[in-house]
């Protein structure tokens, strides 16, 4: 494999990270750790199953159908498959993941800069996203070469700053059982919607690999 192909593979992997690591992957693990206290490993194991392992299986399932969404969901029947796919994309768009990402970005930026109305911020952000995503053939390269390294760099800064400035604390024992926190982790991992997103991210990745 030559250097260019290795770079393309790395870019595709980073693009996948950028697509899957969204607002839910920041919000839910933090909330899970805050609730689980000394039983965090149990909660984390549940979260990893539904937020990492299951989306990976979803990608593999779509690869089996060569990224064909109609063929994948069509196994339920033409109309039921179309209805389910439409429902999932609605959850990922206007009714779920998109508003969550916009709300998190707005609240985070409001802490550092003068706050602007949420509706104005959302409109500008959606316009910017549309301009970047308009040409599908450039989307993965944009994510892999620019957005993902930027996201990783900012995450490293936040994590290091958190470790340096966080007060010393001792994990208190949680009053609930290991099973409770494991199941809580399962639920919160599913709430990231990464499994649902995998069905619609796969066609982009497969098209990029094919090209």
Interhelix angle 54-64/194-210, rounded to 10 degrees, is 40
Domain assignment present for 139: yes
Domain assignment present for 35: no
Domain that holds residue 56: 40-165+174-210
Runs of H (alpha helix) within 49-177: 54-64, 69-73, 78-92, 97-112, 118-133, 136-142, 148-165
Provide the pLDDT for residue 172. Answer: 64
At 1-13, the pLDDT tens digits run 565 567 777 888 8
Domain assignment present for 156: yes
Domain assignment present for 34: no
Q: Exposed, middle or buried, 168 (CB in 10 Å: 0-12/13-18/19+)?
A: exposed
- The pair of structure tokens assigned to 153 is 């760099």
**Poorest-pLDDT segment among 31-35, 139-143, 200-204:** 139-143
Domain assignment present for 120: yes
In angstroms, how far is the first alpha carbon of the chain from the final one?
16
At 127-171, the pLDDT tens digits run 988 888 887 777 878 888 888 888 899 889 888 887 887 776 666
Within 10 Å of residue 36's Cβ, how many Cβ atoms?
24
Domain assignment present for 106: yes
At 65-114, the pLDDT tens digits run 888 899 999 888 999 999 999 999 998 888 888 888 898 889 888 877 87
Alpha-carbon gap, residue 91 to 96, rounded angstroms: 5
Q: In sequence order, what are the residues at sequence separation of 6 or more whose Cβ sits closer than 8 angstroms to the Cβ of residue 90?
A: 96
Domain assignment present for 109: yes
Alpha-carbon gap, residue 191 to 101, rounded angstroms: 13
47 band by pLDDT with thresholds 50, 70 and 90 = very high
User: 0.75 cut: is pTM over it?
Assistant: yes
Provide the pLDDT for residue 14. Answer: 84
The number of folded domains in the chain is: 1
Alpha-carbon gap, residue 24 to 31, rounded angstroms: 10
Q: Exposed, middle or buried, 79 (CB in 10 Å: 0-12/13-18/19+)?
A: exposed
Alpha-carbon gap, residue 130 to 194, rounded angstroms: 21
Element (H, E) at 158: helix 148-165
Domain assignment present for 6: no
């Amino acid at each position: 494999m030559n250097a260019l192909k290795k770079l393309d593979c790395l870019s595709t992997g980073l693009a996948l990270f950028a697509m899957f690591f969204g607002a839910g992957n920041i919000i839910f693990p933090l909330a899970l750790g805050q609730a689980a206290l000394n039983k965090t490993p149990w909660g984390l194991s549940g979260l990893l199953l539904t937020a990492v392992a299951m989306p990976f299986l979803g990608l593999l399932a779509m690869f089996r159908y060569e990224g064909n969404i109609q063929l994948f969901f069509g196994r339920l029947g033409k109309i039921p498959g179309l209805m389910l796919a439409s429902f999932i994309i609605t959850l990922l768009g206007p009714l779920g993941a998109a508003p969550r990402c916009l709300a998190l970005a707005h609240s985070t930026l409001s802490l550092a800069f003068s706050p602007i109305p949420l509706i104005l911020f959302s409109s500008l952000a959606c316009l910017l996203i549309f301009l970047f995503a308009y040409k599908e053939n450039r989307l993965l390269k944009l994510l892999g070469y620019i957005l993902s390294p930027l996201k990783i760099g900012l995450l490293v800064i936040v994590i290091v700053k958190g470790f340096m400035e966080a007060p010393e604390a001792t994990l208190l024992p949680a009053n609930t059982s290991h099973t409770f926190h494991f199941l809580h982790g399962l639920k919160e991992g599913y709430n990231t919607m990464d499994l649902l997103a995998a069905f619609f991210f796969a066609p982009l990745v497969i098209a990029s690999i094919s090209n």
